[in-house]
Amino acid sequence: MRVPFKCLSRADLIVRHGAAEVSALARAGCEIIWLGAESGSQTILDAMEKGTTVAQIYEAAEKLHEAGIRVGFFLQFGYPGETRADIEQTLQMVRDCQPDDIGMSVSYPLPGTRFYDNVREQLGEKQNWRDSADLAMMYRGPFATPFYRQLHVVMHKEFRARKGWREVWENPHKRPWLWRVREVAAVAYRWLTLPLARWQLNRLAQLPHTGLPPAPHMSLQEAARPSVQD
């Protein structure tokens, strides 16, 4: 029996298990795998104690696409110490890997983690997001909340424009002509409004703001080691 499904995974697991298991997932009916990519900056991945590398994210996306499995990226911004250069590396990773979908959030301090302990004194009454699109910082991150909400606009405008343009030219005869006309119009609108959106993002980045410095964390090797299971 082949039942279509989607699942979550880690880039290092996809790479570690090899092409045979990726092919097995495709045969079993896997349509899309969401990866906790988080960042295109190795500095930030290490600070998060993620235990993965940027190279593994690139390789995992390639292997999944080769097997006919769509790829989703969960992306996280606002971790202590993140810079504009780190953010641009993440945006470039999205351009290079061409995931089929993306989801963006700001860093969320979970109780019981070292991250939470580092920012606990800055947490106020707001302990949860209203919804997944809230993007409200709960501590003093590298930039203020309006910056990350505008970053969400910029990233999705560019992502949807690039994806839409690919879809227009990939197998064009399988799409109705009216759909192609509408999609070209949508792509044009996104590209034309993207410079203004980026200008607004740059303006927000220049507002006076002091974020938390990065805290000491474990090494990549330690973070990649599975914890002992009872």
Cα of 185 vs its chain's centroid, Å: 26
Q: Is the pLDDT of residue 132 over 80?
A: no
Alpha carbon of residue 88 to chain centroid: 12
The residues pairing with 74 across neighbouring beta strands, listed in sequence order, are: 103
Give the contacts of 69 (CB within 8 A, at least 6 positions apart).
Answer: 22, 25, 26, 30, 31, 32, 33
Lowest mean pLDDT among 147-151, 187-191, 212-216: 212-216
Decide: helix, strand or coil at residue 64: helix
Tens-place pLDDT, residues 27-57: 999 999 999 999 999 999 998 888 899 999 9
Specify the 3-state DSSP secondary structure of 183.
helix
pLDDT at 211: 77
Q: Which fold has domain 1-143+212-225?
A: Transcription Regulator spoIIAA (3.30.750)
**DSSP for residue 172:** G
Residue with tokens 């949508």: 186
- Answer whether 53's CB lies under 8 Å from 95's CB: no
* pLDDT at residue 120, rounded to an integer: 75
Q: Which tokens sit at 149?
A: 């909400």
Q: What are phi and psi for residue 73, nearest 5 degrees? A: -110, 125
Mean pLDDT of 141-161: 95
pLDDT of residue 94: 97
Indicate if the pLDDT at residue 228 is higher than 70.
Answer: no
